[in-house]
Structure 1
Amino acid sequence: MTAITREMVELLAPAGNWECLRAAVANGADAVFFGVEKFNARARADNFRMDELPEIMAYLHKYGVKGFLTFNILVFEDEMEEARELVDACIDAGVDAVIVQDMGLVKLIREISPDFPIHGSTQMTITSPEAVEFMKQYGLEVVVLGRENNLKHIKTIASKTDTPLEVFVHGALCVSYSGQCLTSEMWGGRSANRGECAQACRLPYDLIVDGVQKEMGNIAYLLSPKDLAAIDLIPELIEAGVTSFKIEGRLKSPEYVANVVSKYRKAIDEYFEGNEYEPSAADMRELQQSFSRGFTHGFLEGTNNKKLVDGTFPKSRGVYLGTVKKVLKDAVLCELEAPLKRGDGIVFDAGNPQEKEEGGRVYDLRRKGRKIEGEVQDGLIEIVPGRHDVKLSRVHVGDKIWKTSDPELDRRLRKTFEHDRPYRPFPLSVRVTGSADNPLVSIWRDDKTGGEVTVVSEVNLEQAMKRPLNGDYLYEQWGRLGGTIYELRELELSLEGDVIVPVKELNRMRREAVERLMALREQPRTYIRREPKEREALHIRTKASRAAAEAPKLISLCRTMEQIHASAQTDVDYIYADFEFTRDYPEAVAAARQHGKRIALATPRIHMPGEQGVLNGILKAKPDAILVRNTGALQYFKQAGVTLPLFGDFSLNIANHKAVELFLEHGLTKVTPSYDLNIQQMVDMLRVSPTERIELVIHQHLPMFHTEHCVYCTFLSEGTDYTNCGRPCESHRVSLQDRIGMSHPVRVDIGCRNTVYNAIEQSGAEYISNFLELGVREYRVEFLEEDSDKVQEVLRLYREALNGERTGTSVWRSLKATNQLGVTRGQLVK
Structure 2
Amino acid sequence: MKRQIEILAPAGSYEGMRAAMNAGCDAIYIGGSSFGARAYANNLDEAALLQAIDEAHIRGKKLYLTVNTLLKEKEHAKQLYSYLEKYYLQGLDAAIVQDVGVLHFIHEQFPGLPVHASTQMTLTMAEGANLLKEYGVTRLVTSRELDLEEIRSIRENTSLEIETFVHGALCYCYSGQCLMSSMIGGRSGNRGRCAQPCRMPYQLWDDYGRLSGEQEKYLLSPKDINTLAIIPELVEAGIDSFKIEGRMKRPEYSAATARLYRKYVDYYLDKGKAAYDKLVSGEEFREDMLQLQDIYNRGGFSEGYARTYHGKSMMSLYRPNHGGVFVGEVKEVQGSQVGILLKERLNAQDILEIRVGHEAVHEFTVKEPHEAGVILRTTAGKRPSPAAEVKKTPNYGQMKAAGTRIKKGAQVYRTKNNALLEEFSREYIEKDAQRGMTGVLVAHTGDRLSLTLRCGGLSSRCGGLSSRCGGKPYESEEVEVTVFHNEAQPAIKQPMTKEKLAAALEKTGETLFYFEELSIDSDEDIFVPVAWLNELRRAGISRLQEALAGKYHRNLDGDRNLDGHQGRKQAVMSAPDGKTGAGNFGISVSVQTELQFEAAMNFLEVTAIYAEYDCFDIKALKRLARRADREIKDFYLSLPQICRKKVYGNLKQDLEELINLPELTGFILKNLEEVALLQSLLNEKMAEKQIILNYNMYTYNKEAKLFWQEHQLEHFTAPIELNYQELRELGISDCDMVVYGHLLLMVSAQCLFENTVGCARAGKNNIQGRLTDRLGKSFYVKTNCTTCYNTIYNGQPLALHKHAADIIRLNPRNIRIDFTKESFNEACQVLRLFYDRFFCSGQDVEELSDYTTGHFKRGIE
Q: Output the TM-score relative to the length of structure 2.
A: 0.85
1:27-38 mapped onto 2 (5 Å cutoff):
27-38=23-34
Offset, 1:258: 2.1
In 1: Cα distance, 2:615 partner to 2:825 partner: 24
Offset, 1:382: 4.2
Structure 1 gaps, min length 5? 365-373, 720-724
Tell whether 2:509 aligns with 1:482.
yes
Aligned to 1:371: none
Aligned to 2:598: 565
Q: Do the aligned partners of 2:97 and 2:115 also contact (CA within 8 Å) in 1?
A: yes
Offset, 1:397: 4.0
Aligned to 1:367: none
**Amino acid in the other structure paired with 1:321:** V
1:559-598 mapped onto 2 (5 Å cutoff):
559-571=592-604, 572-581=606-615, 584-596=617-629, 597-598=633-634
Q: Do the aligned partners of 2:225 and 2:303 also contact (CA within 8 Å) in 1?
A: yes
Tell whether 2:93 aligns with 1:96.
yes
Q: Deviations for 1:390-435, whole angstroms, at most 9, x for unmatched residues?
A: 722342345432111122122112112443412xx32223456787
Offset, 1:36: 2.3
1:596-607 mapped onto 2 (5 Å cutoff):
596=629, 597-607=633-643
- Work out which of the residue numbers 489, 502, 508 in structure 1 matches 2:528: 502
Offset, 1:673: 2.9
In 2: Cα distance, 1:32 partner to 1:473 partner: 40
With 188-197 and 326-335 compared, the bigger mean Cα shift is at: 326-335
Q: Do the aligned partners of 2:341 and 2:373 also contact (CA within 8 Å) in 1?
A: yes
Q: Deviations for 1:211-253, whole angstroms, at most 9, x for unmatched residues?
A: 4222513111111111111122222212211121222112111
- Work out which of the residue numbers 680, 697, 700 in structure 2 matches 1:652: 697
Tell whether 2:455 aligns with 1:446.
yes
**Amino acid in the other structure paired with 2:608:** Y
1:621-700 mapped onto 2 (5 Å cutoff):
621-622=658-659, 623-640=664-681, 641=683, 643=686, 644-686=689-731, 691-700=732-741
Q: Do the aligned partners of 2:29 and 2:64 also contact (CA within 8 Å) in 1?
A: yes
Give the 3-state SS of the residue equivalent to 1:43 in structure 2: coil
In 2: Cα distance, 1:575 partner to 1:453 partner: 69
Structure 2 gaps, min length 5? 383-390, 392-400, 460-476
Alpha-carbon distance change, 455 to 250 in structure 1, aligned in 2, over 3 angstroms: same
1:78-117 mapped onto 2 (5 Å cutoff):
78-80=74-76, 81-117=78-114
Aligned to 2:824: 788
Offset, 1:193: 0.7
In 2: Cα distance, 1:146 partner to 1:466 partner: 68
Aligned to 1:358: 362
Q: Do the aligned partners of 2:361 and 2:404 also contact (CA within 8 Å) in 1?
A: no
Aligned to 2:561: 533
Offset, 1:61: 2.6
In 2: Cα distance, 1:731 partner to 1:93 partner: 52
In 2: Cα distance, 1:487 partner to 1:312 partner: 49
Aligned to 2:396: none
Q: Deviations for 1:276-329, whole angstroms, at most 9, x for unmatched residues?
A: 242622222221122211211111112241211131121212112344344223
Q: Do the aligned partners of 2:613 and 2:639 also contact (CA within 8 Å) in 1?
A: no
Q: Deviations for 1:710-743, whole angstroms, at most 9, x for unmatched residues?
A: 11222221x6xxxxx7547438432212223343
Aligned to 1:400: 411
Q: Do the aligned partners of 2:170 and 2:223 also contact (CA within 8 Å) in 1?
A: yes
Offset, 1:494: 7.1
Aligned to 2:387: none
Offset, 1:654: 1.8
In 2: Cα distance, 1:462 partner to 1:341 partner: 59
Tell whether 2:56 aligns with 1:52.
no
Aligned to 2:388: none
In 2: Cα distance, 1:301 partner to 1:545 partner: 51
Give the 3-state SS of the residue equivalent to 2:645 in structure 1: coil
Q: Do the aligned partners of 2:802 and 2:837 also contact (CA within 8 Å) in 1?
A: no
Offset, 1:655: 1.0
Aligned to 1:153: 150
In 2: Cα distance, 1:219 partner to 1:335 partner: 28
> Between the two proteins, what is the percent identity of the paired residues?
28
Aligned to 1:816: 848
Give the 3-state SS of the residue equivalent to 1:573 in structure 2: strand
Offset, 1:330: 4.0
Aligned to 1:296: 302
Offset, 1:586: 3.7
Q: Do the aligned partners of 1:53 and 1:93 also contact (CA within 8 Å) in 2?
A: no
- Work out which of the residue numbers 365, 369, 376 in structure 1 matches 2:371: 376
Aligned to 1:747: 782
Tell whether 2:657 aligns with 1:620.
yes
Q: Do the aligned partners of 1:629 and 1:648 also contact (CA within 8 Å) in 2?
A: yes
In 1: Cα distance, 2:111 partner to 2:791 partner: 38
Q: Do the aligned partners of 1:296 and 1:307 also contact (CA within 8 Å) in 2?
A: yes
In 1: Cα distance, 2:766 partner to 2:124 partner: 30
In 2: Cα distance, 1:18 partner to 1:595 partner: 60
Offset, 1:577: 0.9
Q: Do the aligned partners of 1:181 and 1:192 also contact (CA within 8 Å) in 2?
A: yes
In 1: Cα distance, 2:525 partner to 2:608 partner: 92
Aligned to 1:368: none
Alpha-carbon distance change, 444 to 59 in structure 1, aligned in 2, over 3 angstroms: closer
Alpha-carbon distance change, 62 to 464 in structure 1, aligned in 2, over 3 angstroms: same
Offset, 1:555: 0.7
Alpha-carbon distance change, 618 to 570 in structure 1, aligned in 2, over 3 angstroms: farther
Tell whether 2:856 aligns with 1:828.
yes
Q: Deviations for 1:558-599, whole angstroms, at most 9, x for unmatched residues?
A: 0112222332343221111114355x1441232231242321
Offset, 1:508: 4.2
In 2: Cα distance, 1:4 partner to 1:385 partner: 57
Aligned to 1:412: 423
In 1: Cα distance, 2:2 partner to 2:835 partner: 59
Q: Do the aligned partners of 1:580 and 1:748 also contact (CA within 8 Å) in 2?
A: no
Aligned to 2:769: 734
Aligned to 2:292: 287
- Work out which of the residue numbers 223, 229, 234 in structure 2 matches 1:232: 229
| Total equivalences in the alignment | 790
Q: Do the aligned partners of 2:70 and 2:99 also contact (CA within 8 Å) in 1?
A: yes
Offset, 1:117: 2.2
Give the 3-state SS of the residue equivalent to 2:754 in structure 1: helix
Aligned to 2:471: none
Q: CA RMSD in A?
A: 3.1
Offset, 1:527: 5.1
Q: Deviations for 1:17-70, whole angstroms, at most 9, x for unmatched residues?
A: 232222222212222222223421112222222243222223333322322221
In 2: Cα distance, 1:727 partner to 1:73 partner: 40
Alpha-carbon distance change, 436 to 321 in structure 1, aligned in 2, over 3 angstroms: closer
Aligned to 2:468: none
Give the 3-state SS of the residue equivalent to 1:280 in structure 2: helix
Q: Do the aligned partners of 1:14 and 1:257 also contact (CA within 8 Å) in 2?
A: yes
Give the 3-state SS of the residue equivalent to 2:705 in structure 1: helix
**Amino acid in the other structure paired with 1:147:** R
**Amino acid in the other structure paired with 1:531:** D
Q: Deviations for 1:769-807, whole angstroms, at most 9, x for unmatched residues?
A: 33332332211100011122322332233234333x127
Tell whether 2:762 aligns with 1:762.
no
In 1: Cα distance, 2:623 partner to 2:224 partner: 46
Q: Do the aligned partners of 1:554 and 1:574 also contact (CA within 8 Å) in 2?
A: yes
Q: Deviations for 1:321-378, whole angstroms, at most 9, x for unmatched residues?
A: 344344223433445443334532111223465xx742121357xxxxxxxxx43224
